Amino acid sequence: MNQQHQNERARIRAAIDRLLAGQATNSNGSLTVVALAAEADVHRMALLKRHADLKNEFYERVRNEAAQTPEAEQRLRKTNTKLRTTIANQKAEIERLRQLVTQLTLASAVLTHENARQSGSALPPDNVVPFPSTATEVL
């Protein structure tokens, strides 16, 4: 580790302590990675890429010391809940539409049969064998 890297890590650790103590000096004081990067005067991508362990440590300390769920996790949980509700609603709608298709298909068949019967062309198709109407015809 070079000196700049160690210096960044020290600034990040100090920023974590300030944010959790509620004594932010360079940020808005929220318990987010963006605020942590601003508080430590480190580029956010450097925090996310080079110091991912400190980011994870920050979130762990937020959970334990501040007894809060990090804002990013709260947003994800809210989005997840919303998406699950959307999926459930879509599944119900698909089931309703499937039942409607079945009902409309049956109604179409009945209307087609009635139309054919009324027009006098109620002859069965070539591939249909009618059932005998009485038991004596079976013999």
Q: How distant is the alpha carbon of residue 129 from its chain centre?
A: 53
**Residue 89 pLDDT:** 97
60 lies in some domain: yes
- The domain tally of the chain equals 2
76 lies in some domain: yes
Euclidean distance between the first and final Cα of the chain, in Å?
Answer: 99
Confidence of residue 1 (pLDDT cuts 50, 70, 90): low
Confidence of residue 136 (pLDDT cuts 50, 70, 90): low
Instruction: Provide the residue range defining the domain that includes 40.
Output: 3-68
27 lies in some domain: yes
Whether the predicted pLDDT of 124 surpasses 80: no
Q: Give the span between the Cα atoms of 112 and 102, in whole angstroms.
A: 15
24 lies in some domain: yes
22 lies in some domain: yes
Q: Is residue 52 located within the same domain as residue 85?
A: no
Q: Is residue 79 located within the same domain as residue 98?
A: yes
138 lies in some domain: no
Q: Is residue 54 located within the same domain as residue 75?
A: no
**Residue 63 pLDDT:** 82
21 lies in some domain: yes
58 lies in some domain: yes
Q: Is residue 58 located within the same domain as residue 107?
A: no
Q: Give the span between the Cα atoms of 125 and 12, in whole angstroms.
A: 82
**Mind listing the pLDDT tens digit for each residue in 72-102?**
778 888 999 999 999 999 999 999 999 999 9
Higher pLDDT, 22 or 93: 93
Q: Is residue 9 located within the same domain as residue 60?
A: yes
Task: Pick the range with the lowest mean pLDDT from 49-53, 93-97, 128-132.
Answer: 128-132
The token duo for 97 is: 């539409």
Q: Is residue 12 located within the same domain as residue 44?
A: yes
Note the pTM of the prediction, 2 decimals: 0.51
Q: Which residue has the tokens 């064998």?
A: 129
